[in-house]
Amino acid sequence: MMNLKGKNILICRGEKESARFKSYFKNEGVLVHFFPTYRTEFVSSSAADRAIATLQNAAAFDWIVFS
């Protein structure tokens, strides 16, 4: 791996979900910043069905993000 010491890394997950990333990068001398832009949640099957139905109209969106 390249030398990352002193570099800034932005992690868009929450701190709780990124503990392993944070630990690894800090050990490499990286300056770690958190800017949580999304959260992961369990959804009911009906919510999943609604999300799938929404994708049927994908042309209405400029961006679709899968994580």
CB 37 within 8 A of CB 65: no
3-60 pLDDT, tens per residue?
889 999 999 888 888 889 899 999 999 999 998 887 777 777 887 788 888 788 777 7
pTM (2 decimals)? 0.55
The predicted pLDDT at position 26 comes to 92
**50 located within any domain:** yes
Assess if residue 18 is contained within a domain. yes
Alpha-carbon distance 52 to 48, whole Å? 6
What residues contact 6, with CB distance under 8 A and at least 6 apart? 29, 30, 31
pLDDT at 1: 57
Tokens of 2: 């390249």
Which residues constitute the domain of residue 33? 8-57
Please check whether residue 22 lies inside any domain of the structure: yes
d(CA 67, CA 44) in angstroms, rounded, equals 18
